[in-house]
Amino acid sequence: MSVDLYGLAKCGTCDKARAWLDAHKVKHSFTDYRDEPIAPATLKAWAKELTWEKLVNRASYTWRDLTEQQKAASSDAQWLALIKEFPALVKRPVVVKDGAVSVGFTEKKFKELFGG
């Protein structure tokens, strides 16, 4: 099983997700996407699987501070430009397990994903 976690190093939800994986002995890698931006092709692939609406955190302070024009993004290019400028817009954590993508952390969700 291959598990890659993407998020922000200083994110409480990412910390909880990483602690859960460690406690359940699920080997994983972690990438802080502020330090190592996600390639546009990867973001597009995630959005294709999830949709931009599920990939972008519309409840965040970052989202609330955007202009109405920015919030109206509808094309891949517009979403990619927004995320490049504001990486914190991506929901956290992004979990890639054996090629399948999911976002967010709850104990219930991780038990379903990893069996636990």
Active centre residues (catalytic)? 11
Rounded to whole angstroms, the maximal C-alpha distance in the chain is 44
Helices (H), the chain: 12-23, 40-50, 52-55, 61-64, 68-71, 76-85, 107-114
Task: Write the DSSP symbol of residue 39.
Answer: P
